[in-house]
Structure 1
Amino acid sequence: MSTTSPASPTSRVDALMQDYAGHGPGASVLVVRDGEAIVQRSYGFADLEANTPVTPQTNYRLASVSKQFTAAAILLLARDGKLSIDDPVRRWLPSLPASDDAITIRHLLTHTSGLIDYEDLMDPADTSQIHDSGVLALLAKESKHYFAPGTSYRYSNSGYALLSLIVERASGQRYADFLHARIFAPLGMRDTVAYEDGISTVAHRAFGYTFEDGRWQRTDQSTTSAVLGDGGIYSSIVDLQKWDAALYDERLLPRAMWTQAWTPATKTDEADVEYGFGWRITGETVWHSGETVGFRNVIVRWPQRHLTVVVLTNRNDPEPYAMAKQIGALFLDGSAVDASANGDVVSHAR
């Protein structure tokens, strides 16, 4: 009687990601367990026009996955004694109106500031890209709030744009330079960059696409794509493995400060989700998604189990959080074969 061997972990991941294979916008998948990349997969194309396939080195615009780096920059400056998380925001950004007196850096980190969304303050007739400084200029003219600071939660890109400016004021460095000097370079994240058109470049760049009128059309940039603090970082699964490793030790920050980032500070508008500093918390996971024109990304970490799943995509749909949890389940429920035992450690698909 014949028997069928159980599918390997990599083939099971491939089955979940089959819609990204072929000649369309692609995806990168990373599964890290105990510091080792046990699955590292590449699907589809980073640049359809140039027929450039996705590889593990492909860099995607992280969108709001960037917020964890902005939060880490603030924590680094707090550790350095350059600022306090409970500083009033107007100490660093005095052009904000007096109505913002009660807002602190902590409120910005946890989306509890009540600041108006800068996207709703932009002139819809202006097609030029706004930058972090432009966000400040818009908010400097706005005295209204959604709620009193600290009394509720509303996800706020405005707050993270302001945090990037606070990093600059407190450090004396440009935000992109601070991240490179204090996070990316020390961790060997060689190709990760807070991208600024005309100033920096993105190596091995993935371009974003949206399926419209029966075909994939490039939709790589919008009027908000140049804002750095809320979503302007590009990275790859190769570099994010290095980032994940640093979250387990004290190369960047003391353990107590990392713990603060992952400690629930507020409930959110989702019943099972709380928020720390740049991270969402659900049960035993800390995670964050990122959505912007042409990109959908997520990082999900099970820190007590030393397991992390990263899914990066350069297409507008679908949102990959549920898929990342499905991939994680392959390695949490005991059904996945130990990758080191079957030799199926790292491979790539198109």
Structure 2
Amino acid sequence: MPPDTLTGVLSSVAQRLREDLADVRAEPLRLRARVADLRVEAATEADPPYRLHTLRLYPLETKVKDPRVAAPATRTSGAVPEEAAAVAADAFAELGLVGLIVAGTTGDASVWVTARGWASLDQDEVLLPEHRFPAYSITKLITAIAVLRLVADGRVRLDEPANAYLRTIRLADDAVTVRELLSHTGAVDSPASMFADRVPDLASVTGPVAACGGPRGTFAYGHGGYALLGQLIADVTASRYEDAATRMVLEPLGMSASWFPRSRPATRVTTGHRLTDEGVFERAPTRVFKMPAAGGLWTTAADLVHLGRAWSSLLPDALAREALRPQAERNDGPGGQAGLGWMLNLPKDIAGHPGAGFGFSASLIVRPGLVSPGGSQTWVVLTNRQVLVEPVNERLALPIA
């Protein structure tokens, strides 16, 4: 870890570090403890000079006073590893959650899922492994894979201007390429409002000409570029984006419990929650993402595991490698790069994508270099409260031990 990065991390939590460590679990080479309202996890190398190789600091929930979440039930599917069950139990309490699903693959490629808590507190509905969640921005992986399948078929070229394929809506900048849209370097503006009761016509959201107000070639995460990629898929295939993505990605991967609803679905879905200032959970507003290609997927944890495990099987090897090759440096942390759809962390050898919105959070992580018989090792975390869940998923994908 570069010195300036370590200094920045410690400076941001300096006031909390004045307090003593509590709940200490210490071993010669690793530590797990609490300091103030932070969870601290650290580990050193096994040999002198015992350099620090892992340091995680993330906030613990201290406001929850809701008695309804005091004794969460657990339901499982498949052979859940003991370590994953422990991570789920700890994270549920530490993050202050209503419901939590953790899922992944074992060495023989079988899928396991553990669900803890409630799908809906108002209805006292226990969360099950098969409950569906909005994936929000993880949808961008579906869109990227669909575009790359068109590239593999010779119907689209990565370095051609996107306007060469767009018919219904155009980009204001004729030079923006398909590759730039996939890597968030095309400078396409995002709409000010992302959620609605029903999915509107895309042209009513972006206008007939989508604005490109930022500097091209620089990473700037947004939703507008992927909304246009969805339109590109629709224009090239002469079908609705949702139909094309289902046919080209969901069905081949066996994601039979996933779809793109036009309004909030009602069958076996979770309810989003938010925490009031009094520490009690209430139902979050019910919304869908306005742009299906950027955030409209509803899915299960098992289906997301299928996505992470087998996505590359839909593409030629060279194109799958290109999707995981750094295309631009991200501006959200050390080592962060953007691939084609995938968010990369090269020092940790992981790729993935987060998703968050009204009352929900999601995270998908794969380790491309850790391959089982069925594909890449994959981990998924879903919650029905909007909180940061990436640290939970990293504990699954990158165990300190």
Tell me how far apart the structure 1 counterparts of residues 204 and 138 of structure 2 sit (CA, whole Å).
21
Deviations 1:149-171 (A, max 9, x none): 22x11112000111111110001
- 2:342 corresponding residue in structure 1: 279
Query: Given that residues 366 and 379 in structure 2 are in contact (C-alpha distance below 8 angstroms), is that contact kept between their aligned partners in structure 1?
Result: yes
SS of the residue corresponding to residue 286 of structure 1 reads strand
Question: Which of the numbers 215, 220, 234 marks the counterpart of 1:168?
Answer: 234
Query: Given that residues 20 and 44 in structure 1 are in contact (C-alpha distance below 8 angstroms), is that contact kept between their aligned partners in structure 2?
Result: no
Question: Which of the numbers 199, 212, 219 marks the counterpart of 1:153?
Answer: 219
Q: Name structure 1 gaps, 5 residues minimum.
A: 1-6, 336-350
Deviations 1:31-81 (A, max 9, x none): 223353475210111222332222111111001111100000101111222
CA RMSD in angstroms comes to 2.8
Question: Which of the numbers 283, 301, 305 marks the counterpart of 1:241?
Answer: 305
Q: TM-score normalised to the size of structure 2?
A: 0.71
Q: TM-score normalised to the size of structure 1?
A: 0.80
- 1:13 corresponding residue in structure 2: 87
Letter aligned with residue 268 of structure 2: H
Q: Name structure 2 gaps, 5 residues minimum.
A: 1-80, 372-376
Tell me how far apart the structure 2 counterparts of residues 302 and 163 of structure 1 sit (CA, whole Å).
26
Larger radius of gyration: 2
How do 1:20-31 and structure 2 match up within 5 A? 25-31=98-104
Letter aligned with residue 397 of structure 2: G
- 1:316 corresponding residue in structure 2: 386
* Displaced runs of 4 or more, over 6 A: none
Query: Given that residues 289 and 298 in structure 1 are in contact (C-alpha distance below 8 angstroms), is that contact kept between their aligned partners in structure 2?
Result: yes
* Of 210-219 and 185-194, the range deviating more from structure 2: 210-219
Tell me how far apart the structure 2 counterparts of residues 19 and 184 of structure 1 sit (CA, whole Å).
34
Letter aligned with residue 274 of structure 2: T
Change in Cα spacing, 1:129 to 1:43, as seen in structure 2 (3 Å) is same
Cα drift, residue 195 of structure 1: 1.9
Tell me how far apart the structure 2 counterparts of residues 300 and 240 of structure 1 sit (CA, whole Å).
10
Letter aligned with residue 391 of structure 2: A
Question: Which of the numbers 360, 367, 386 marks the counterpart of 1:295?
Answer: 360
SS of the residue corresponding to residue 177 of structure 1 reads helix
- 1:68 corresponding residue in structure 2: 141
Cα drift, residue 262 of structure 1: 1.0
Query: Given that residues 198 and 290 in structure 2 are in contact (C-alpha distance below 8 angstroms), is that contact kept between their aligned partners in structure 1?
Result: no
Tell me how far apart the structure 2 counterparts of residues 26 and 20 of structure 1 sit (CA, whole Å).
13
Q: Name the structure with the higher strand share.
A: 2
- 2:268 corresponding residue in structure 1: 204
RCO (CA 8 Å, sep 6+): is it higher in 1 or 2?
A: 1
Query: Given that residues 98 and 121 in structure 2 are in contact (C-alpha distance below 8 angstroms), is that contact kept between their aligned partners in structure 1?
Result: yes
Tell me how far apart the structure 2 counterparts of residues 260 and 254 of structure 1 sit (CA, whole Å).
10
Tell me how far apart the structure 2 counterparts of residues 202 and 108 of structure 1 sit (CA, whole Å).
33
Letter aligned with residue 309 of structure 2: A
Tell me how far apart the structure 2 counterparts of residues 238 and 65 of structure 1 sit (CA, whole Å).
14
Question: Percent same amino acid among aligned pairs?
Answer: 24
2:395 is the alignment partner of 1:326 = yes
- 2:295 corresponding residue in structure 1: 231
SS of the residue corresponding to residue 263 of structure 1 reads coil
Tell me how far apart the structure 1 counterparts of residues 267 and 197 of structure 2 sit (CA, whole Å).
26
Letter aligned with residue 350 of structure 2: T
